[in-house]
Amino acid sequence: MSAGEHRSEDTSSHSGRHLDTPQADSRIAGTDSAPRRLCKRHTVAMVGLLLSLAGCMTQPPAPEVSGPIEVPETLSKVILPPLKAPAPESERRAQQRAESQRQPQVADTVDAEPPSDLWERLRRGFAFEDYDDPRIDAQLAYYVSHPNYLNRIAVRAEPYLYHIVEELERRDMPLELALLPIVESAFDPYAYSHGRAAGLWQFIPGTARMYGLNQDWWHDERRDVKASTRAALDLLTDLAQDFDGDWLLALAGYNAGPGNVRRALGRNERAGQPLDFFSLPLPRETRAYVPKLLALKRLVNDPAAFDLELQSIANEPHFEVVPVGGQIDLAHAAELAGMDSRELYLLNPALNRWATHPQGPHRLLVPRERAEDLRLGIAAIDPGDRLSWHRHVIRPGESLSIIAKRYGTDVGTLRTLNQLSSSTIRAGDNLLIPKASAPPSAYALSQGQRTAAREARFASDDNRREVRYRVRSGDSFWSIARAHEVSVAEVTRWNGMAPGDTLRVGRELLLWLPQAPNVQPAVASLCADSACALPEREAEVRRVGYRVRSGDSLARIAGRFGVTIAEITEWNGINPARHLQPGQSLVLYVPVTGTL
């Protein structure tokens, strides 16, 4: 299965997108239990909640890699009879997590001197046993043959790794889990997979919301260093409890979804086969995912055995959390702290805009040596200097959404700041609007600047030209890509999106087409005339037979293959109002260069 394939049997949170390779520096213990590993019935009730697990952008060793697994709608609606538990499931889990955080630490040894190097601290807290398996050897061979990869990872990990280790030790969790962001995101806080997963721990939107990570116009807490680490460790704790403390199965569940792991356990149990991770018939990506972590553990544990030298990371905090008391312009905050705005964003990657979120959290992570400067600056700042303001006179025909878009803010902020009880406004009234105090370049890694940098990177290619395309009703990534003779992966990459993202009618997409295009002239100007049709180019697609599975819908199949519902119904002569039946055969025409 290729990196863009979807499996509809269960949820997978992970995309399999490669984020670090030697060619492109962007990405790459369990206990042996018996059939009791097939969790008690009450834990199955969590399936519906955990089926949307955190996403992953794996680094691409040679062996097995595959794409995200879709969530069957039927599984997300499973309702089981309540048990005699005294508290709801969510309260039980919260209590269990709180108790685990009060337990003695894994690495609580009698060492007289703490290690000066963070890698050594990790080694002392490793708890998984050593496993022998060809899959681990294959991943190990990849890492050993690409020594620069681990050095790049060490540079990226330095600001975050100490905090992760601290949290794991506080919860008495194995320190091998501190290496998981290497597998997930290559320690890139801005990593975004084609499965819509984001951040160091690669949460997809649904799971993020379940674990308390807010996502809106101002910020995306999936990228927040502290919040996402808390959520990831909560999720891993829940999975470990569901699988009777078997961390390898918990990790498999983090990648493939616990439903997939349960079904694999059930198949092996019925066949009288072993129930350990290495014996389970798991998805292809997951069979490589856990061995990657075990290979990294082996390398970190004894790098000299592989003729490697890990770049040292000091065993001390890299950042401090400084309360800022309210919304503040990030260029101003960087100036108060005496630091570069890029470094400020890297420690606060959740922030999308030029200021912190108006509703909080009202704090910033800054390097330890800059924390006191920021504290003093915040204490001395005039409240009116936190943000710059503009007084806008409402014109006829304007709405709050139009005004918010013009000034780079959101409707909620305008309503709050101007004490509006609704979104109704009158021409001639004044609105107080916060605005950036510095030019865009002062907000180095805001969403706008990241987009601009991506566009500039493509614009530097003399062999390509820029084309702006406005999305029309019925469009899909595939139809747009096919019309312009590019791939879906290219269209989504150019626009910082994922194939699963919703295309809104009217949205403008940026396309970088060859200077000497081999598309038809009518396509090159696609759709200056909104009535023009997409050209049919049979040579660019292949005919695929698809058998409907339980839980499938037209929308799900269309999303998986990057086509529209209308196209599927036309190709198969079916009524879109009628339900699909498991086993029903469909004919699909999918792009050869797509993301299957």
* Residues with a known catalytic role: 184
Single-letter amino acid, residue 395: R
- Classified as helix, coil or strand, 567 is helix
Q: How many helices (H) and strands (E) does the chain have?
A: 23, 8
DSSP bridge partners of 363: 323
Cα separation, 386 vs 333, in Å, equals 9
- Among the listed residues 159, 462, 177, the one whose alpha carbon sits nearest the alpha carbon of residue 314: 159
Distances (CA, A) of 330 to 92, 448, 539: 40, 14, 51
CB 68 within 8 A of CB 15: yes
Instruction: Calculate ∠ Cα 327-202-323, nearest 5°.
Output: 25
CB 395 within 8 A of CB 426: no
Q: What are phi and psi of 429, to 5 degrees?
A: -75, 165
> Token digits for 364?
């910033």
Cα separation, 139 vs 295, in Å, equals 6
CB 142 within 8 A of CB 61: yes
Q: What is the dihedral of CA 453, 457, 460, 464, to 10 degrees?
A: -120
Cα separation, 139 vs 388, in Å, equals 52
- Among the listed residues 258, 295, 313, 312, the one whose alpha carbon sits nearest the alpha carbon of residue 280: 258
HEC assignment per residue over 95-125: HHHHHHHCCCCCCCCCCCCCCCEHHHHHHHH
Helix (H) or strand (E) holding 561: helix 554-561
Q: Is the peptide bond before 361 cis (omega within 30 degrees of 0)?
A: yes
Instruction: Calculate ∠ Cα 510-503-397, nearest 5°.
Output: 85
**Rg over CA atoms, the chain:** 25
Cα separation, 252 vs 11, in Å, equals 12
Instruction: Calculate ∠ Cα 406-409-413, nearest 5°.
Output: 130
- Classified as helix, coil or strand, 342 is helix
Cα separation, 184 vs 202, in Å, equals 6
Cα separation, 408 vs 295, in Å, equals 45
Q: What are phi and psi of 321, to 5 degrees?
A: -95, 120
Task: Characterize the bridge pairing of strands 363-367 and 585-591.
Answer: unpaired
CB 478 within 8 A of CB 491: no
